[in-house]
A and B are shown apart, each in its own frame.
Chain A
Amino acid sequence: EAQLVESGGGLVQPGDSLRLSCAVSGFTFDVNWMSWVRQAPGKGLEWVANSKYDDSAENYVDSVKGRFTISRDNAKNTLYLQMNSLRAEDTAVYFCASRNSFDNWGQGTLVTVSS
């Protein structure tokens, strides 16, 4: 059974940086695209970024381009999201999800950006 476990969330100030991790088990990580999806409090789902299985390509939603970087370590079955220049509007629960169809989801980690 697939398991995705996010970590790294917390309370930060505007302009700060944070790195999220997603540890994966139960499926073949290095042949699957992986994504980060976020959900602001009381709002809908928003795809943030995805990473090709061999780390050769990535895509981002416009609102995070130049500030967030997705990466992966296939040897550790772990996905990352480096978030720089954080803004209040980045406050959300961040989920990692497998494949571009989001077959499996983690439970999420909360990122709060507030002064």
Chain B
Amino acid sequence: EIVLTQSPGTLSLSPGERATLSCRASQSVSDNYLTWHQQKPGQAPRLLMNGASRRATGIPDRFSGSGSGTDFTLTIDTLEPEDFAVYYCQQYSSSAITFGQGTRLEIK
């Protein structure tokens, strides 16, 4: 099983700042089968990024993803109030799909 470790657990920032979220895998994620999802309280998650760096339909370009192998990053430029949520990375390069434990992005 590929274990995904996200850091930090909680990130406190102000609107207008830049957020950098990290996701580290215990072994290489092949073909960049790495996604990022956003979840707001009481809502279902929403796909933000696929293939580590490809924005899903309708996702604003202030969201960007990067990385390969075992280290991946989600960056949110110029935070908007609606961006404060929990973010999960997820891999599907192995038959046992796994999620990271999540990073909570909160308003400072």
Q: Which residues of A contact B (CB under 8 A)?
A: 35, 44-47, 50, 59, 61-62, 95, 100-108
Would A101 and B33 count as touching, CB distance under 8 A? yes
Please tell me which one of the listed residues A62, A95, A100, A107 contacts residue B97 in the complex, with CB atoms under 8 A apart. Answer: A100
Would B44 and A106 count as touching, CB distance under 8 A? yes
Q: Which of the segments B11-19, B21-29, B70-78, B88-96 contacts the partner chain?
A: B88-96
Residue B79 at the chain A interface, CB threshold 8 Å? no
Would B33 and A59 count as touching, CB distance under 8 A? no
Q: List residues of chain A with CB within 8 A of the CB of B101.
A: 44
13 A–B contacts from the bound complex (CB under 8 Å): A45-B37, A45-B90, A45-B99, A59-B96, A95-B44, A95-B45, A100-B33, A101-B33, A101-B47, A101-B90, A103-B50, A105-B45, A108-B44
A107 to B56, CA, bound (A): 19
Would A45 and B88 count as touching, CB distance under 8 A? yes
Chain B nearest CB, measured from A1 CB (Å): 10
Q: List residues of chain B with CB within 8 A of the CB of A45.
A: 37, 39, 45, 88, 90, 99, 102
